[in-house]
Structure 1
């Protein structure tokens, strides 16, 4: 049997990541402010290139998502020092896409993963459900659901799901 090429594995991780991110981010062809006031467009795309009043086509939004998620996967591959299965790479790319490179690189999650403690690393995902700052910080139910799903995918193959974690 021929072993999979790194490029194929990266493509599979990216495809899985797209399937994760798209429903959780939602799609808006027009710029809007996210729950903490950050200008956002398409599938959660943010950055200095996002301006009020912008509009994008479906094709432009998909291209932005692929580019952004590819960058998130690159961050995962550069930061994680131990080999990870495709499912975990996809879950981590979704996580990085949402929390950002800086937060990921400084996280206990990454530290635990590089120590080889996969269970503790994946469990850390569920702590990242808050938006806002200070007294305005609050848990968002969409993030709670997303982190639970990312955690399940992160643990795939090493931890059988409990009944409350199983998909409906």
Structure 2
């Protein structure tokens, strides 16, 4: 389910993310987000479409593959801004991909306020990578119940492995 080479090149140009980082990032995003051309409701009640896009998703909506990758490019901008504005230390490709996946999932504001970022900017790379596995809970939009999601447990483990591979 990885994007084809022309799509990766186009995404790299639009987002400013290097091709090596983008390939690593898609390797994290696609298995966990999937690509769903038809909108669906995720495990915590959020209407989602394409590759984890929620901002404008509506029940019953359908998007083409090209539209899905356009939405992905727009959604990845949040991570670019967050990394440019908040990260003060050098990042390897693997570490950057792990952070981008994390920010894509939790948002830049949660990243900005995180212990993960504090540890990262204090050059505690291993400590920052370990922080990823703490982010495994989500609040159900309907019941307001906070739950540990198996998908988040698996995603954070993959992000941590990617993060540590870059050290």
Which structure has the larger Rg over C-alpha atoms?
A: 1
For residues 74-113 of structure 1, the aligned pairs below 5 Å read: 74-113=81-120
For residues 67-78 of structure 1, the aligned pairs below 5 Å read: 67-78=74-85
TM-score (structure 1 length as normaliser): 0.81
Q: CA RMSD in A?
A: 2.1
Q: Aligned with 2:18: secondary structure?
A: helix
Cα deviations by residue, 1:100-135 (Å, 9 ceiling, x for unpaired):
111111111001101110111110000001111697
CA contact (8 A) 1:69 1:94 kept: no
* Separation in 1, partners of 2:160, 2:18: 20
TM-score (structure 2 length as normaliser): 0.82
Q: Which structure's relative contact order is higher, taking Cα pairs within 8 Å and 6+ residues apart?
A: 2
Which runs of 5 or more residues in structure 2 are unaligned?
A: 1-12
* Separation in 2, partners of 1:157, 1:89: 9
Which runs of 5 or more residues in structure 1 are unaligned?
A: 1-6, 159-168
- Equivalent residue pairs, number: 151
Change (3 A) 1:157 1:96: closer
